[in-house]
């Protein structure tokens, strides 16, 4: 392993974007993403990064610019958060439907109202179905690695889809921690030159975004869905090849301990470390419990998830957002759906945690474990997701 240096995760994310020698950055600053765009604009202004930094007037414009520049064949990056992601929503769907390999970092923050700036996943869940590849990072190193991985996957000619790298706002974006930077040579070895599937070119014109009605819309959406599903092996290959360069092996679903346990926690993002502390405390007390980290959210890794769950009796899914009037844990409902047709399916016990940055400690997750056990002992096979720690 190379030398670890102390960097703010936002600065490291921006430096990773610089390392891949991006051509166009279009972004609008919003808390807690601000440090990423600040550092990128510094790199461009100082002449250290030869890119076009386009300071747009809104996130809707940011994603629109990204679509234009990506369609022209430029390596394109943006990042946003919360309200900004909501404002750009319309164009987020267009980017993926046009198969434009844009890379976006989302510093996950709660969505208004009431207004707030702290971390949860309520901003990203509304774009769950947008057709972007989506990964969640647990720490600064993962953010750095995944920015580079995102460009590699997005621009792969077998994929050509945009990628969102989710990093929790503040908890990661404002954290200084040890990160190993890649050398330029490593990036050159890992990331080939961007060769777009198609490009806007006045000398060789094409039509992008033409009208499609019922005659071919079903076929268009079939093709889009297949493209996203078929990205999965490419995503895994890109992780495997990264492991050869960095020694860090990422997988769609990762297990904390290799053994099989009766109960599994399932988490996404930066809380995994805290939950792993709780899991280790419980294991010391003799409990049969393990942790699964869901790294890849789209395309959803059904096969890897089932392999990782194995014969576990219970999966405790930690959600960071509410699907109002719905299941209500968006991730728990996906996990339930993944197992519904299995005869020997585990009980899925959903807990919604840490809304608006509420800081849950390992003891909270130990409470959640005990509460989940009580649900099963009471004979429950189906449970309703619980907003953990609600003041009542």
> Which parts of this chain interact with other proteins (CB under 8 A)?
4-6, 8, 97-100, 117-119, 160, 170-171, 174-178, 197-198, 205-208, 210, 212, 216, 218-220, 222-223, 226-227, 270-271, 273-274, 276-277, 357, 359, 361-362
Query: In angstroms, rounded to a whole number, what is the distance separating the alpha carbons of residues 206 and 270?
Result: 43
- Residue (227 or 245) nearer to other proteins, CB: 227
Least Å distance, CB 198 to other proteins, is: 5
Least Å distance, CB 359 to other proteins, is: 5
Least Å distance, CB 173 to other proteins, is: 10
CB 286 within 8 A of CB 369: no
CA distance readout (Å), 390 to 82, 157, 352, 353: 23, 47, 10, 9
Structure tokens at 302: 């059904």
Helix (H, G, I), strand (E, B) or coil at 108: strand
DSSP classification of residue 60: H
Helix (H, G, I), strand (E, B) or coil at 350: strand
Query: In angstroms, rounded to a whole number, what is the distance separating the alpha carbons of residues 68 and 337?
Result: 37
Least Å distance, CB 125 to other proteins, is: 21
Query: In angstroms, rounded to a whole number, what is the distance separating the alpha carbons of residues 97 and 84?
Result: 20
Least Å distance, CB 276 to other proteins, is: 6
Least Å distance, CB 203 to other proteins, is: 11
- Residue (246 or 333) nearer to other proteins, CB: 246
Torsion of the alpha carbons at 147, 67, 171 and 254, rounded to the nearest 10: -50
Strands across the sheet with 76-80, in order? Answer: 52-55, 24-27, 76-80, 103-108, 163-168, 133-136, 296-298
- Residue (241 or 254) nearer to other proteins, CB: 254
Select from 63, 52, 56 the least CA-distant residue to 25: 52
- Residue (84 or 196) nearer to other proteins, CB: 196
- Residue (270 or 323) nearer to other proteins, CB: 270
- Residue (227 or 236) nearer to other proteins, CB: 227
Least Å distance, CB 217 to other proteins, is: 9
- Residue (109 or 149) nearer to other proteins, CB: 109
- Which helix (H) or strand (E) segment holds residue 238: the answer is helix 214-246
């Amino acid at each position: 392993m190379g030398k670890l240096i102390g960097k703010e995760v936002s600065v490291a994310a921006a430096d990773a974007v610089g390392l891949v020698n991006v051509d166009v950055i279009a972004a609008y600053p919003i808390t807690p993403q601000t440090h990423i765009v600040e550092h990128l604009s510094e790199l461009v202004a100082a002449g250290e990064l030869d890119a076009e930094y386009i300071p747009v007037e809104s996130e809707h414009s940011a994603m629109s610019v990204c679509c234009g520049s990506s369609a022209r064949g430029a390596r394109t990056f943006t990042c946003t958060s919360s309200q900004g992601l909501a404002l750009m929503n319309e164009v987020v769907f267009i980017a993926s439907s046009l198969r434009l390999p844009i890379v976006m970092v989302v510093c996950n923050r709660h969505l208004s109202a009431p207004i707030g700036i702290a971390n949860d996943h309520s901003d990203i869940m509304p774009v769950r179905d947008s057709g972007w590849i989506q990964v969640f990072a647990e720490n600064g190193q993962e953010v750095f690695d995944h920015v580079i991985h995102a460009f590699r996957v997005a621009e792969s000619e077998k994929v050509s889809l945009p990628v969102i790298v989710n990093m929790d706002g503040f908890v990661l974006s404002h954290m200084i921690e040890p990160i190993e930077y890649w050398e330029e040579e490593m990036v050159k070895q890992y990331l080939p030159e961007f060769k777009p599937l198609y490009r806007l070119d006045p000398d060789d014109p094409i039509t992008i975004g033409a009208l499609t009605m019922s005659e071919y819309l079903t076929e268009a959406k079939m093709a889009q869905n297949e493209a996203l599903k078929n990205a999965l092996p490419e995503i895994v290959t890109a992780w495997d090849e990264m492991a050869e360069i960095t020694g860090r092996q990422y997988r769609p679903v990762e297990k904390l301990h290799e053994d099989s346990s009766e109960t599994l926690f399932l988490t996404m993002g930066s809380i995994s470390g805290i939950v792993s502390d709780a899991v280790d405390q419980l294991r010391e007390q003799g409990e049969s419990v393990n942790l699964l980290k869901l790294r890849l959210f789209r395309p959803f890794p059904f096969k890897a998830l089932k392999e990782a769950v194995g014969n576990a009796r219970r999966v405790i899914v930690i959600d960071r957002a509410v699907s109002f009037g719905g299941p209500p844990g968006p991730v728990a409902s996906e996990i339930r759906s993944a197992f519904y047709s299995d005869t020997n399916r585990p009980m899925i016990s959903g807990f919604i945690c840490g809304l608006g940055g509420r800081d849950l400690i390992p003891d909270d997750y130990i409470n959640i474990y005990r509460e989940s056990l009580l649900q099963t002992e009471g004979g429950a096979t189906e449970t309703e997701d619980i907003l953990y720690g609600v003041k009542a």
